[in-house]
């Protein structure tokens, strides 16, 4: 159904950004075959596979890539794929005999997607790291936090998923589009440190233009401004305000019953006083009372919801923004396409689940499947 329907993606088991990329491609209709390790190596923090929602949409086959037969089987699978996704450290796939040179020789039209933290080369390329380290090296982590406080890690959303998995998904889609025109594949080097930097490109312009201070909590978008912030309410919950434009700011003051002449928006010297006044005002009512006060408002207001509350918000419900897959509520595929909508094709597979049917769909006949099985390709079909 989705815009990538008919494309075959071979994904080698990894964590974080790799699976997120595979999920995005599967959500958009690609046939993603996950090459799992024969046994759970502990990559999924001990949870059952069906709770690992980033694995949705795939089918699975198991394979030991450290065995001679496993490498041979992987080569055969890559020969029928349009793209592969791998998230090993630089050089690992080459040492296994599955590097780009080998696979592109086998399949010249293959798009070879590589996901790493630091990139395929450079002084840090071989070093271990996680999201917090990648965004630390970009300036992003230093910029997030309140004035006078330490930098605040924004979960692992910026490096792993925005700057990693989403970047690789975009790269794979671009590579597939180009390969359809040229008939030639290529390697995509997606580095989380570079993807994270790219997400912050707007701030490079602010900094270059002298409109951004590197002191945390002193700018418009980093809680420095009283009208772009979060405030606690009477019931201990929070609301968010982003009234940047003048007309929106005026609406905010009206809803808070504060006199406009006493709160000039861009008088930075008074921002601390304004912030204290806003905090006092918001503490006077509960969060959901403020929702009613701001109903129909353009003051750029929204309640701060928990993850469990978000699916039940009227807007999210109206747009069916969440779906339930095997009793696990999760975000629906995005973005939306008018003619070829994406969908969750199937729940996360157990190791080997759906693999035999996937091989048939990929064009392997019964004898070829038997040979691949003899090389170590495993299936754990549920009865």
Known catalytic residues are: 130, 160
Q: Measured between alpha carbons, how far is 88 from 123 in angstroms, rounded to an integer?
A: 17
- What is the Cα gyration radius of the chain? 25
* In contact, 28 and 2? CB cutoff 8 Å: yes
**C-alpha torsion angle, residues 147, 151, 152, 158 (rounded to 10):** 120
CA neighbor of 102 nearest in space, from 18, 185, 178, 8: 185
257: region left, alpha or beta (phi > 0 left; psi from -120 to 50 alpha): left
CA neighbor of 27 nearest in space, from 323, 309, 310, 317: 323
What the block records as the tokens of 321 is 């923004």
Q: What's the Cα-to-Cα distance from 1 to each of 180, 291, 341, rounded to whole Å?
A: 19, 38, 6
**C-alpha torsion angle, residues 175, 180, 185, 188 (rounded to 10):** 0
């Amino acid at each position: 159904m989705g815009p990538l329907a008919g494309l075959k993606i071979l994904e080698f088991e990894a964590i974080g950004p790799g699976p997120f990329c595979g999920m995005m491609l599967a959500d958009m209709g690609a046939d993603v075959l996950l090459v799992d390790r024969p046994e759970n190596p502990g990559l999924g923090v001990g949870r059952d596979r069906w709770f690992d929602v980033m694995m949705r949409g795939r089918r699975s086959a198991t394979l030991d890539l450290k065995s001679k037969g496993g490498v041979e089987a992987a080569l055969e699978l890559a020969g029928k794929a349009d793209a592969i996704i791998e998230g090993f450290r630089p050089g690992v796939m080459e040492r296994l005999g599955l590097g780009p040179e080998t696979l592109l020789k086998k399949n010249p039209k293959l798009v070879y997607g590589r996901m790493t933290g630091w990139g395929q080369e450079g002084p840090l390329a071989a070093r271990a790291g996680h999201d917090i380290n990648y965004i630390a090296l970009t300036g992003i982590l230093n910029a997030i936090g309140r004035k006078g406080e330490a930098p605040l890690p924004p979960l692992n959303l910026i490096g792993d998923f925005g700057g990693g998995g989403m970047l690789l998904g975009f790269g794979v889609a671009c590579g597939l589009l180009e390969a359809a025109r040229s008939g030639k594949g290529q390697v995509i080097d997606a580095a989380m440190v570079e993807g994270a930097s790219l997400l912050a490109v707007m701030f490079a312009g602010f900094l270059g233009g002298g409109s951004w201070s590197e002191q945390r909590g002193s700018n418009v978008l980093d809680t420095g401004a009283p009208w772009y912030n979060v405030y606690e309410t009477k019931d201990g919950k929070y609301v968010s305000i982003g009234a940047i434009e003048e007309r929106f700011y005026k609406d905010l003051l009206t809803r808070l019953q504060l006199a406009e002449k006493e709160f000039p928006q861009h008088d930075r010297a008074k921002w601390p006083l304004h912030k204290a006044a806003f905090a006092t005002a918001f503490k006077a009512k509960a969060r959901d009372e403020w929702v009613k006060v701001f109903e129909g408002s353009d003051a750029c207001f929204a309640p701060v919801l928990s993850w469990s509350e978000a699916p039940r918000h009227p807007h999210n419900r109206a747009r069916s923004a969440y779906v339930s897959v095997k009793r696990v509520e999760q975000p629906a595929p995005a973005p939306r396409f008018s003619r070829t909508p994406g969908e969750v094709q199937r729940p996360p597979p157990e190791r080997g689940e759906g693999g035999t049917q996937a091989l048939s769909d990929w064009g392997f006949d019964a004898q070829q499947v038997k040979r691949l099985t003899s090389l170590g390709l495993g299936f754990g079909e549920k009865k």
